[in-house]
Amino acid sequence: MKQGNLIKTLFSLGMLTRQLEEPGTGLPSKERLRALAGFQQRALCHALTFPSLQRLVYSTCSLCQEENEDVVQEALQQSSGTFRLAPVIPSWPHRGLNTFPGAEHCLRASPETTLTGGFFIAVLERVEVPSSVSQTEVSAPELRSSPSPALKKKRRRRNAAAAPSMLLCTKQEGN
């Protein structure tokens, strides 16, 4: 069997994800889960420091609260009210675990109820306009689409005086 086919087969059976799991439990080991959640927490909090960031989609292929709601809740607390959760597909019936106010804006999909491998999605959006981005840029994007007159390139006029080498070549050919 080719390696690509084996990986495809294992992935479709859900075997690839089980490499992280504690044998016999179907869950990642506590150490592995703590390490993953810590990494995700640092990455998410770092991303929320980008001054021009307006929205961020946080998504995992995990159903563990420690990697999902707990990471999002901690990131929101560390952002000190700069970000909030935005609703994700309001018609989706499976929401985030009710572990903190606003968690209902998150989306969950479990293999048992959605015929997927399982995943989690949260959308974090900025509450205020960052100081480095002007209000005009955020509220009027159509103004940014037309180039400023100061930024337009100047066209050069082309005439005989601008191309002396061509005139010189013509003279030399006639000799």
DSSP state of 155: P
In degrees, rounded to 5, the angle at the alpha carbon of residue 102 between the alpha carbons of residues 117 and 116 is 10
Annotated catalytic residue, options 61, 64, 106, 169:
61
What lies within 8 Å, CB to CB, of 154 at 6+ separation is none
Dihedral sign (CA 99, 109, 20, 67):
negative
Q: Which helix (H) or strand (E) holds 173?
A: helix 164-174
Active-site residue 64, yes or no? no
Question: HSE on the CB side for 88, CA within 13 Å?
Answer: 24
> Which residues carry out catalysis?
61
